[in-house]
Each structure stands twice: as C-alpha cells, then as structure tokens.
Amino acid sequence: MKKMMNRNLYIVDGDDNSTWIRTVCPFCGKQYTFVVDINPDEFSKRFDAYMAGGLIQDCFPEFDADTREFIHTGICNDCYPSDDGE
C-alpha cells in the first residue's frame, strides 16, 4: 500500500490500528517514517478534512506537536527550530 497524501507525504502501510506515514525532510533530505495509532482509512479521512481547511490540531487531536508538524511540513525534529534558540 502506498498512497500519496500531498507533496511528498505517503501512507506506506497500515493495519486495523496503525498507519505508517513517510516523507522526506525538505531541509536535510532524509526520509522519515512515523507510525501513528490510527488506521489508514481514518487517517485518510482526517487528512482530507485537514487539507480542506480544518485545523490540524482538530483533525488529529491525539497526535503530539512533533507528529502534527511532520504531517504539516515534513520537517524533521533535527531541522525544526527549537524554542531554546538552537
């Protein structure tokens, strides 16, 4: 299973309880895969709602900020500016 969601965000696998999503960080070029605790159909439905203008925190309230940032921008934690100025 490989389903393109936007730019370079893909659902690459999944089961009844989890979805594997993958993207390439636009800054460092590394490929990252996250596993989220939601099935692929539900992830797709919520992602479509987000792309239609829903707030990402409303569409994916159970995801932490890093996971939502990954979905929104594809930027990895190493490349995303931290709050401590680094």
| Residue 57: per-residue pLDDT | 96
Distance CA 10, CA 64 (A): 19
Distance CA 4, CA 22 (A): 10
Identify the bridge partners of residue 82 per DSSP, sorted by sequence position. none
Q: What is the pTM of this model?
A: 0.79
Q: What is the helix, strand, coil percentage profile of the chain, to 5?
A: 30, 25, 45
Reported as a single tens digit per residue, the pLDDT across 26-41 is: 899 999 888 999 999 9
